[in-house]
Structure 1
């Protein structure tokens, strides 16, 4: 059958349209679209870049470090809030302007990964106390070291951590605070800067609370005007209401707390006044149950309950800079659905207080994180 003249003309026109060169604007648009899609997939499934804004992990990580975080290590978490602006935090700056729409919320699901969260891993996760303000995957990002995994018993005695009754050694560059007594002569600020020592508080003309890196301790202690250096440890039994679980049944503080069992998926806990104080947030907020107490009885979703079986695994996270870190000691457990990935490499590091020629910390470029 012969093709009509008009049809042949249309076929020719379509061929010409297909072979017609794209405009520069169209080429740039296609390239930009591909780059955004590729970057979104890579960031969502493989790894992300994060910056360290505070000193809670010093000296393992420094303020101004930029990290690559592997999502493959624990398995990529699928988006829970799929409608959001890529590459931005949940809110713009200090404003309340959201970068996402929470009209669609998907159930938590994680693809298989290369392994599981282990004790000692440096982990990026969404900040649990941000619950109620943002969806899980839109909560502020935190970075800490995992000290306890599901089912572990964590205890802290005089600032030393024990997991399942075994001493858990601090990270090599972990820091804490010390009471420093001097002879009254001033301390050279340049010396403190060179030794990376931070004055946390000045008690009087002679005494200071300082955060001293392990590598600087002996050098600083040997100085003529230093009379004594004593580690600051809050004694056992002194109750700090800011410390988890914020209940006077547990007279815990930042240096002495526990023993505390970290919930594991499938673990059944007997409910009473003590356990509901410890695990209520996990049961009610993270696992979406309604918890009520009345005349010594506990009700979950309107039914009297003597036990509860956890639906998720939980972790215990702490900063390496022990007395300058808001961590699990203050807000409790990190649920598995909050885990983002494992910090692997410092790819860039800048010092905002350094001179322009010394802004970049070259020794930290492409440095493995341990």
Structure 2
């Protein structure tokens, strides 16, 4: 037999489950909710009559929802007892009331306030992911949803975010609600920002733009030997070459040979959104990074943006040939294998996680080996 307080505890735990919140707040077909109370055995009728009376009184005093009673005859007690068997919760308001929990009530009030004022496409996100609005006011969330409905891809036209003026919403608002806004835009534009930044999607100038080192590998290709270029510039600039090699670390440029019609872009790290540049689709692209979990994660990001790229010197054979230079990777990119690796790269990723020394920095690969691989790639041999 369960007392009201026991079932309240169960209802509170259910509120913490995203699937149940979604179904019960957004789908009327799941109501009513029937919670079995249970009934005593015949032996309990005689042995614990005081406890039974208290149990019955608790359920008689319950004012939320509807308690279904049934008259049950117990032969051993020679009596008929009206027993509460089911607690019936009719709707989500009764569910929240039955929880008798301040946090649950506050969150329900927040969602009730917001959901009636925003587009239905955003409801599931707001119900399931409370963390995106937990530190915001209802009005902030509503404004953020309104902003997501008004923004369009490329609408910044190269201006910084602070130059946008939509419903008196400034860049500070976007900064404070950036995570929520990106999630909302991903819903509206079918995950368009999954692998690019908000600034790239809106074509907005970044206030803290990443600078990359651009090095032409043949004379006369560019009017400089090397130059730093903003990532946002690379995201829209057509480079005068047929081959582009992306290199994780800047300090590796000295390992590169002179190569016709080839440009190296170094120091990108995880900042690879600029690879979505449509002009790059006509170029041969290679990626070379450290052989460790982070290097392979960056390779996965790059391949998602440029599926035809070639990975250079990021295989098990290269690692084994240079493992004397391997060191411990102090912080890995996680146990989950990145999505866009091929089968051999997936196996290498998991192997590196198991090794005591699972990190080979690219600058420890012999310069002659690097020159050979890069030259063969440009010539079509890789």
Q: Report the TM-score when normalising by structure 2.
A: 0.23
More strand per residue: 1
More helix per residue: 2
